Amino acid sequence: MTAISFTLNGRPVSTDIEPHRNLVELLQRFDLFGSRESCGQGLCGCCTVLVDDKAVSGCLYFAVWVDGKRVATVEHLDADGRLSPVQQAFIDTGAFQCGFCTPGFILMAHQLLKEHPNPSDDDIRHYLSGNLCRCGAYPEIIEAVKLAAKATSKAAA
């Protein structure tokens, strides 16, 4: 067991964890299930988590490595009681069916819009190429990201 302390969705937390556990397993201990291990190989993006503002695959990230870091999951996005522009855009465009992959797509879209506030189609495809949606909602997801970009730039103006 290794003792770790980190910031989880804005709140300081401490726990003990075995070195062979990954970040998804750590989050489950805090009743956070938005990050899901699906392919287990970093390909599908369902386990996306932000560590120090960078998107990582939670299934390929040792839990002990978040010691001293800031961890954010999809659950932090509506912490103030309001959906984020990306979340709202996913609803407005119907960018999901079963919803299993949605948290990962939403966090990757947040990372994209932070780095490219007005993303091109190519930027969107590039950032989301590591996320798989087995319902095939890709056209709506791309629309959602564009809508969120518009909403965000309008809010900032």
The only residue of 6, 27, 36, 61 in contact with another protein, by rule CB under 8 A: 61
DSSP letter (8 states) at residue 130: T
- Cα–Cα dist 15/37, whole Å: 21
Query: In the complex, what is the shortest distance from the CB of residue 81 to another protein, in angstroms, rounded to a whole number?
Result: 29
- Cα–Cα dist 103/107, whole Å: 6
The only residue of 118, 129, 139, 153 in contact with another protein, by rule CB under 8 A: 129
133 counts as binding another protein under rule CB under 8 A: no
138 counts as binding another protein under rule CB under 8 A: no
149 counts as binding another protein under rule CB under 8 A: no
Query: In the complex, what is the shortest distance from the CB of residue 152 to another protein, in angstroms, rounded to a whole number?
Result: 19
Q: With CB under 8 A as the contact rule, which of the stretches 13-21, 71-79, 83-91, 137-145 interacts with another protein? A: 13-21
List, as one string, the DSSP characters of 30-99: TT--SS--SSSSSSS-TTEEEETTEEEEGGGSBGGGGTTSEEE-GGGTTTTSS--HHHHHHHHHT--SS-
137: three-class secondary structure by DSSP: coil
Binding stretches for another protein (CB under 8 A): 2, 18-20, 22, 40-43, 45, 48, 54-57, 60-62, 64-65, 108, 111, 126-127, 129-131
